[in-house]
Structure 1
Amino acid sequence: MSLMPYDMRNGLTPRRLTIAMWDYSWLKGHYPGGSFENYGQAVDELVERNFNTVRIDCYPLTIGLLNSEEEEVTILGEPLANWGVCDVDRKHSIVRELVEFMQACKDRGVYVILSTWNDRCKEHPDLHQHYASDRAAFRVAWGRTLDILGSRGLLEHVLYVDLDQEFPYFSPYADEMNKLAVNGNTSQASGGNLADNMEAAVNQQGGTNKLIWTSEQLVYVDELHKEMLQHFQRKYPYLRFTYSLTSFWKEVRTAGNRSYDVLELHMFMQSALQSERLESRIGFNDIVKDRGDHDYSDYQRRIDDAFRVMRPMFMQEMHNRLSFAMEWSAEIGAPVTTSEAWGPWWHMDHRHLSWSWLRDWCTECNELAGRYGLWGTTPWNYAHPYWENWRDVSWYKEVNGVFLRS
């Protein structure tokens, strides 16, 4: 007698996660006239579009350096930023605004994934250096953030905590990773600014049998992750903890760490394990990626030409990634989510750029997420109120509804 395959999602609440990745935008856009001016309205719009989960940067490393919960810091303006659009430098009371946002989610039954891009503010430009030299401070900062939320009853709707977004690209430990690289075999995790790290996080390529990290890097990451994960699991046994990844899936899996409570794997088209054939056609790495007025007409033409003949092969690569993810999931007994995924990591509202090809691609990939057995998925990483596509309520309702019913 053979048993039916076990599906751990049937014991999880909720059984399916439809995730909007709101990164640091929820804070940077929280000002009069900003895209996140009213948290209640923003979360209501999530619910209207069939989202039940939002993933945010909760700024733990900044909170760890505050002299009091009421202290304000200066979040730098980035008018041409791809995400987190804000025109000028503004003062923010991070703790107060985080509590307000988390309460708005709780009141509306929306679950939260806590993460961090470890972005700097004006008052703490050396944020990375401070924590790189003091792992205990990293643990204390995250602990302070979780305790603040817990004291207000705002951890009950937290699904899991991602300790270091897309490790190691935004991490305080990126520079140490690079020091351990030899013979040019580097993680390319420079610890630079957000834009540079976004670029690096999806440009790292590797063949199916090649490990990019050195043995020293593998040991370092395995030890670091085990130390942090097991510390927080002991302190907060009722919470799940993980590290999200874009590149280096093979490397982290090879290290054999079974402490991840969730595998959050970002499945961009052009990231590691795929797709050199896409890059050689469209030249994604060479284009300027911001909200400026650049000429993208040739880039869009290349996309159209490439997808006309290569789409089935690109889709096979996505099947391969999903298969790898689910094999790893079964191996360590952790559900898989993706909160940044499917298309290229960058696209823009621009007169030269079409969204139709990307919408079709992401619709199919989200359907695949259900078929392969992911616990959670996102329609794409452009689900913010400041994108024009946010107005297409019916598309969001449909694509999220398909996954919720899977």
Structure 2
Amino acid sequence: MKDRLTITLWDFTWYTRTGPGEPFEDLDEAFRQAAGRGYNTVRICAMPLLLFGTGLDTGALTFSGLGGGYGQRTRWYDVRHTTTLDARAQLLDLFRGAARHGFKVIVSSWEYQQSPSFLTDDSWRRAVAAIAPPARTDALAGALAALVDLLKAEGLDDRVAFVELHNEVQYGGLTEVTGAWGDASILGLQPHLERGIEAFRARHPGVPVTANYARVPVADMRGLPRNADVAVFHPYVYGVLQQLLDEFALRDTGRPYPQERAYAELLRDGAPPLQDWRPDAWRMDATAVGHREVYTHDWCDPVKWDRWLYDRYGEHRRAMRATLDTWIDVAADWAAGRSVPLVFGEGWVGYTPLHGTFEEGPVGAEICEHAVRRSAQVGAWGTLVCSNAAPHHPMWNDVSLQRRLNEGFLK
């Protein structure tokens, strides 16, 4: 299948990390490196609401990390420099680079999850929060349509592979309209997403539009938008990683954080206590990744973390493989039932510390290889080596793995 998409996840990092020596200082070089690894598609937060839905002046936006050392050893948060850029010019530079290097772009938004946390003031966060929850999908649809209007005026709209109303819609600010969270919000979100898809399609009927989901919500597939042009899922299987999250209550603030156990089993010498490691309060409100998880990623000893997972992986190996296979099969069946293409835009294990190597090591690489092979077997239009295979993660250095898996998918 010649038009298959080999995806590298550039998320919001393509505009938050443009400083000296950072991975997106030179967009052309980032595209060259991606092409050398066998990629032909990038997936981004195109900041549509910021550019076309908030009324904010985007000509000189200043981005930074979350303050001090907070997030500097946490994936996606390790912004090293404070930089100022023209957001619209940066967007056009990315699409012009995509055109020069023969790339497609999956256009999405992380604005109700974490993108606004990287601005040095809270104007972006306040602007998107001020949109009434029932109007948020409509606002995203209008902003994304305006973004495509701009690309069309610049002769760049052919670079768009498809448009997503938002990233992982069941985890973020879009759910506020439902009064639920996670998969419990899927049924309530359905009419809002369907309305947003129709609103975008009315303005750009030739551009595929959809919404994407964390994991594959096998118990709630009936609640996915019935008018989506692409079926997009993020199959993070977690398994042994979920055991770590559960035992250390990293995402469950209803239980105490086991500080002494964390010191013994996960953290580096000299780690401060949890309560002493915080960013500005508004930044915590602007990101979906919780305080406990960032703290533990920032202060973990990567060797301890990886050893913890390896020691227990045997108990989860078969279940993780079975879950991944089931999710891929269910996703493929749902896509086939609606005669729409299937894309896996993120995956496969889960959210690990920046310097952890579980997903980059022999176990993770085997999971990636299996997932890419299964993606091809079920006829997916697009897939990725894994979410960590991008310029802002250490796995980018494993050129041979990325090239081999991408070439195998494209055969």
Query: How does the TM-score come out when normalised to structure 1?
Result: 0.79
Question: Counterpart of 1:58?
Answer: 46
Question: Counterpart of 1:170?
Answer: 172
The alpha carbon displacement at 1:296 in A equals 4.8
Over the matched positions of the two proteins, sequence identity in percent amounts to 21
Question: Counterpart of 1:42?
Answer: 30
One-letter identity of the residue aligned with 1:107: R
Question: Counterpart of 1:100?
Answer: 93
Q: Does the alignment pair 1:146 with 2:139?
A: no
The alpha carbon displacement at 1:25 in A equals 0.6
Question: Counterpart of 1:362?
Answer: 368
2:14 maps to which of 18, 26, 31: 26
Which protein, 1 or 2, shows the higher relative CO under an 8 Å CA cutoff with sep ≥ 6?
2
Question: Counterpart of 1:255?
Answer: 223
**Counterpart mapping for 1:347-358 below 5 A:** 347-350=353-356, 355-358=361-364
Check 1:76–1:230 CA distance in 2 against 1; reply closer, same or farther (3 A cut).
Answer: same
One-letter identity of the residue aligned with 1:82: R
Question: Counterpart of 1:293?
Answer: 299
Counterpart CA distance in 2 for 1:404 and 1:307 is 31
Deviations 1:327-373 (A, max 9, x none): 10111111111121111233432489973321122112211111122
Q: Which moved more, 1:338-347 or 1:32-41?
A: 338-347
One-letter identity of the residue aligned with 2:52: G
Q: Does the alignment pair 1:15 with 2:3?
A: yes
Counterpart CA distance in 2 for 1:153 and 1:69 is 24
**Counterpart mapping for 1:144-293 below 5 A:** 144-171=146-173, 173-178=174-179, 186-188=180-182, 213=184, 218=187, 220-247=188-215, 249-250=217-218, 253-255=221-223, 257-270=225-238, 275=239, 279-280=242-243, 283=246, 286=249, 289-290=293-294, 292-293=298-299
Deviations 1:353-396 (A, max 9, x none): 97332112211221111112211111010122232221221111
Counterpart CA distance in 1 for 2:247 and 2:229 is 33
Deviations 1:234-275 (A, max 9, x none): 2101100010101572465213642111111000012xxxx5
Deviations 1:132-175 (A, max 9, x none): 3545543332222221111111110211001111003233x222
Counterpart CA distance in 1 for 2:357 and 2:140 is 43
Counterpart CA distance in 1 for 2:344 and 2:359 is 25
Counterpart CA distance in 1 for 2:140 and 2:335 is 27
Count of residue pairs brought into register by the alignment: 354
Counterpart CA distance in 2 for 1:328 and 1:174 is 23
Counterpart CA distance in 2 for 1:294 and 1:234 is 49
Query: How does the TM-score come out when normalised to structure 2?
Result: 0.78
Question: Counterpart of 1:207?
Answer: none
Check 1:403–1:91 CA distance in 2 against 1; reply closer, same or farther (3 A cut).
Answer: same
Question: Counterpart of 2:285?
Answer: none
8 Å Cα contact 1:296/1:353 also seen in 2: no
2:401 maps to which of 370, 395, 400: 395
Counterpart CA distance in 2 for 1:239 and 1:263 is 15
8 Å Cα contact 1:82/1:289 also seen in 2: no
Q: Does the alignment pair 1:382 with 2:370?
A: no
Counterpart CA distance in 2 for 1:77 and 1:99 is 24
Structure 1 vs Structure 2 CA RMSD? 2.7
Counterpart CA distance in 1 for 2:177 and 2:299 is 37
Question: Counterpart of 1:202?
Answer: none
Check 1:372–1:289 CA distance in 2 against 1; reply closer, same or farther (3 A cut).
Answer: same
Q: Which residues of structure 2 form unaligned runs of 5+?
A: 251-291
The alpha carbon displacement at 1:404 in A equals 0.8
Q: SS of the residue aligned with 1:18?
A: strand
8 Å Cα contact 2:63/2:83 also seen in 1: yes
Question: Counterpart of 1:206?
Answer: none
Question: Counterpart of 1:6?
Answer: none
